[in-house]
Amino acid sequence: MNLGGELSLRVQPMADHGLLLTFGNRIDAALGMRIAHVTDALADDDLPGVLDVVPSYTTLLVILEPATADQASIVSRVNYHWSRIARAQAKRADARVVTIPVAYGAEPGPDLPDVARHAGMSAEEVIRRHAEASYQVGAIGFSPGFAFLIGLPPELSTPRRSSPRTAVPAGSIGIGGGQTGVYSLATPGGWNLIGRTALTLFDPERDPPSLLDVGDAVRFEPVGSVAVKYSTGRYKGDSPTRRHVHGDAIEVLDAGLQTSVQDLGRPGHGRLGVAPGGAVDRAALIAGNRLVGNADDAAGLECTLTGPHLRFLRPGRIAVTGAELGARLNGLRVPSGAARVVGAGDELTFKRGEGNGARAYLCLGGGIDVPVRLGSRSTDLMAGFGGFQGRALRMGDRLRRRNVGADVESQPALGPWPPQERPLQGNVFRVARGPQFDRFDDDAWKTFTTREFTVSSQSNRLGIRLDGPSILPNGGADIISEGIVTGAIQITGEGQPIVMLPSRATIGGYPKIATVVFADLDRLGQLRPGDRIRFEEVGYAGDIVIPRNEDS
C-alpha cells in the first residue's frame, strides 16, 4: 500500500458496466480517508457515463453506462486525484466528528454478555473500551445509511452469530468479527448486539439522508439505562390510504403477489448505501411508457408472478409489457406489448396459472403520481421509502395519475422500445470474469460455465439465488467488503451463486466469480422459480462483446 503521490492501482472491469479500483489489501483508516477524498473528487468531475461511485475500505467502484463511459479517462482521473490530494491523514474540509449516544446492554444490547465472555472481561469493561475507542466510517452499505466502522479494539472482536436474527431493531449497535457499526434500518442481521441509539441514521427526507458519510469520525457516548424512544428508522410514507380523492385513477381490488410503483431507479446514491432499484426489466418499462406517450422514466406498476386486480376510475391509455401473466381487460386478453384505451369502471385482471416470465409492467398515460424521493418515484421495499408509502400495494389502495388535466387519450404513442431486436433469448446468460475469479480453480470455473442452475424460490428483487452444483472458492468465502454492480454473481460460503438485481446491497463481502453483461441484465428480471439457466463466458474488444477463446 502506498499513500504517497504515486499510485499502485489494480483496475478490474465488472463486465461492461463497472470498474473496480483496488488501492490496498488491508483495512486502514488512512487509506480509507484517501479513498474518501478520491470519491469526492471523482463525483464532482461528473464524467460522462459515470452513474455512481461507491467507496469501501480498500476499493472504489465506478458504475458505468456502457454506451457513453470512457474507461481510460476515468482511470486517468483517479490517478490525477490521487496525486494531487493531500496525504490521507489530513481531514477532508467537511469531515465531521459525530457523537452517537448509546444505551448499552439489557434489552437494547442482548448480546453484550456473550461479547464479554468471548473477550474474557466484564460487561462494564466491554462498554468502556467500545465507547472510548475512536472510529472512522470506512464504508456504507448493506442497507441505506449502515456504516461499517474502522477502529474496533481488537480484544472486542467477536465472531458473528451462528444463526442471524430475522429482524434487528434500527439503531442497534453491533459487533461482527473485527467490525462494529450501527443498524440504520430494521433488517435481518448476524452481528452481536451490544446497545442501541435513538438517532435516526437514514431518512430520505433529510438532506443529506444519511447521518454518516465515508471518512467521518464517530464516537459512542454511553447514556446508561435511561429510557429512550427508539426510532424504527423506516420512512412511513406521505399519508394514510385515502378512501377517495379527486384525481384518483386506479383502485386496487387485489394486489397480487407483489405489485409496486417503479421507474428507472435512483442511481447516484451508492455511497450512502442506497441501491439504484427501479424496474428490474428496464426495457419492458420503457416500452410501456413509449406505448402510452410517456417519458421513458415515468413511473408504472411492476407486477410479480401473479398480477393484481385493478379498477380504472378515469379514462386513459394503458399498456402492458414484460412477462405474459394472463392480463385481461374486462375479460378480454391483453397480450404483452399491447396498448389499450380504458374508461371509468374498466377492470384489469391477471389470470393465475398463466405465466411466461416473472414481471409484467403496467404503464398509464401521464404516469403514476407518487412523491419523488432521492430523485425517483421507485419503491425501495427493503428501506421502506419511495413509491406508494414505501411498500407494495394492498387491497383498497388508490393511485393517482400525473397530468390529470391532460387528454391522455389523444397523446401520441412513441412506439415500442428498443427499435432493434431484443438481445439473446433463452436460458443462456453471458458473463465476464469477476474481480475474485482467481479465487476459483479450473474445475470450479468449468462447473460454473458448463452446468445448469435452477432459480430458487428464495429469489427476490435483491438477487436471484441459484440451486445447483457447489462452487467453492479457495481460501473461504470472506473478502473485504467492496462495491457490487447489478449482475455481479457472488458465491456464498455453501458454494451457491447469487446474481445481484437492482435492489441489491451496494457493497458485499462474498467473492464474485463473474458479472452478467449489461445487455442481458433485463432478462434476469424475468426468471421464475424453477427456471434453469447456464452461463457463457465472453470477453471484450472495446465496447463489443465477443466470445472468449479458451487460451486467452
Determine the Cα–Cα distance for residues 287 and 243; give it in Å rounded to an integer: 32
Q: Where are the alpha helices (DSSP H) in 310-380?
A: none
Per residue in 330-374, pLDDT (tens digit) is 999 999 999 999 999 999 999 876 778 999 999 999 999 999 999
Report the CATH fold assignment for 10-84: Gyrase A; domain 2 (3.30.1360)
3-state SS class at 165: strand
Residue 552: the pLDDT is: 34
Go through 291-309 and write b for each residue having 16 or more CB atoms within 10 A of its CB, e for each that does not: bbbbeebbbbbbbbbbbbe
Q: Do domains 97-222 and 428-547 have the same CATH topology?
A: yes
Task: Give yes or no for residue 228 having a pLDDT over 60.
Answer: no
Is the domain spanning 97-222 CATH 2.70.70.10? The answer is no
| CA nearest to 118, candidates 160, 166, 163 | 160
Query: How do the domains of the chain map onto residue ranges?
Result: 10-84, 97-222, 248-410, 428-547
Per residue in 131-164, pLDDT (tens digit) is 999 999 999 988 899 999 999 999 999 998 877 8
Determine the Cα–Cα distance for residues 91 and 68; give it in Å rounded to an integer: 34
Backbone Cα Rg of the chain: 24
Per residue in 86-130, pLDDT (tens digit) is 554 445 555 689 999 999 999 999 999 999 999 999 999 999 999
Is the domain spanning 428-547 CATH 3.40.50.800? The answer is no
Per residue in 51-100, pLDDT (tens digit) is 999 999 999 999 999 999 999 999 999 988 888 775 544 455 556 899 99
Angle made by CA atoms 240, 361, 405, in degrees to the nearest 5:
60
DSSP letters of 259-290?
Answer: EEEE-S--TT-GGGT----S-SSHHHHHHHHH
Task: Output the average pLDDT for the chain.
Answer: 87
